[in-house]
Amino acid sequence: MKRRLPEMPVVLDARVVAGSGGGPDKTILNSPRFLTGAGYRMICAYMHPPADPGFEQLRSRAATLQAPLVSVVDRGPWDCSVIASLLNVCRRERVRIWHGHDYKSNALGLLLARFWPMRLVTTLHGWVKETRRTPLYYKIDELCLPRYEAVISVSPDLYDRSLACGVAPERCVLIENGIDIGQYARRRPLAEAKRLLGQPADRLVLGAVGRLSAEKGFDLLIRAVHRLLQVGLDLALMIAGEGDEAPRLRQLIDELGVADRVRLLGYSADPRAVYEALDVFVLSSLREGLPNVLLEAMATAVPVVATRIAGVPRLVEDGTNGLLVEPGNGEELTQAITRLAGDAGLRQRLGQAGRRTIEERYDFARRMQKIANLYDRLLVC
């Protein structure tokens, strides 16, 4: 008789999403293929509004990354069918570890563990988009987090926040985001990449990638570019992303008269072509955790200007592998861009140092091994 091999423990990563997702989804959907080698089978369960076209973009991305994806239609806070759907998934797949990624999945994990035994893990990615409901979300997390067996934070400020919420120190873990350094490496020369995006080779090209939301500070960046154009610099700005701030940003671009130099590229399933065309990547955010886009740009050897927020100063050392400015300070942002615009040698040095930083400290494979080690400890307890 053929001996049956033991089944790999199943991890269910759960998250609420609207539209095409954000930075955390890059991490989640990229994780299953790395965990398989560590002995775990991972499933991604996404709660999303019905008929959301953005979810199809996520589904396509998951297929490309070979990430098993479960669609859970979520009609709002009072939709109890979400509970039944997720419980069925847990039972059918015999889930051993529930891994939440936001306030709702954290609350649901506690509830579902009463009906199906699972170890409880969550990752704090940071509440960057403030709405009238954000205080409620914070409160739910404050109630849930102390009851989780492991709380992973992607930046030191979130680690401190988990402690402040009452999580026992032995359950708090700092595991910063990572990047697949094989995926994010330059494939074509800068001049060729610029040409493919319609930019002259000799023009300084700035860029940003992210959700078009107020907390990203893209209006500050657009105003900085306007000031630099007024003093005669030959430059352009490309912003890849979609979001509810798009109409306001388009209006600002028209008001400043910079439509010929500032482009909103819309959603990009694969922003690598954008990174490769940049002389400088700019993170102008007012709030962040540890943004994947900054890691991606640095991995592509693009010199970066970034705001001094959350986990960013642990990644970017001012003057060594990038430049740091105060969040919300348009003058500092303009000065930092000006400094890089006038010094090609500095751009090259910072870009190369940024790539080394990612290779040495933010490799995705190493990050996922830390996650697997955490799962190992939970399952032997």
Instruction: Please write the tens of the pLDDT for every residue from 331-347.
Output: 999 999 999 999 999 99
Which residues span the domain enclosing 344? 190-361
Residue 286 CA to residue 288 CA, distance in Å, equals 7
In what order do the strands lie in the sheet containing 280-283?
Answer: 262-266, 235-240, 204-209, 280-283, 304-307, 323-325
Identify the weakest region by mean pLDDT among 160-164, 222-226, 375-379: 160-164
Q: So what's the pLDDT on residue 204?
A: 97
Render pLDDT for 173-228 as a digit per residue (tens, 0 to 9): 999 999 999 889 989 999 999 999 999 999 999 999 999 999 999 999 999 999 99
Q: So what's the pLDDT on residue 240?
A: 96
Give the dihedral sign, CA 179/377/155/346: negative
Segment 32-54 mean pLDDT: 94
4 pLDDT more than 60? no
Residue 264: closest CA among 281, 241, 287: 241
On whether residue 155 sits in a domain, the answer given is yes
Taking the whole predicted model, whether its pTM rises above 0.75 is answered as yes
Residue 261: closest CA among 223, 280, 235: 235
Q: What is the DSSP string of 305-354?
A: EEE--TTHHHHPPBTTTBEEE-TT-HHHHHHHHHHHHT-HHHHHHHHHHH
On whether residue 4 sits in a domain, the answer given is no
**What's the structural domain count of the chain?**
2
Segment 146-150 mean pLDDT: 97
On whether residue 3 sits in a domain, the answer given is no
On whether residue 257 sits in a domain, the answer given is yes
Q: So what's the pLDDT on residue 2?
A: 45
Same domain, yes or no: 37 and 159: yes
On whether residue 169 sits in a domain, the answer given is yes
Same domain, yes or no: 275 and 213: yes
Distances (CA, A) of 336 to 228, 286, 288, 303, 322: 11, 17, 20, 11, 10
Q: So what's the pLDDT on residue 127?
A: 64
pLDDT-above-70 percentage for the chain: 96
Segment 348-363 mean pLDDT: 96
CATH of the domain at 257: 3.40.50.2000
Segment 107-119 mean pLDDT: 97
Checking DSSP bridges between strand 119-124 and strand 150-153, what pairing results, if any? parallel
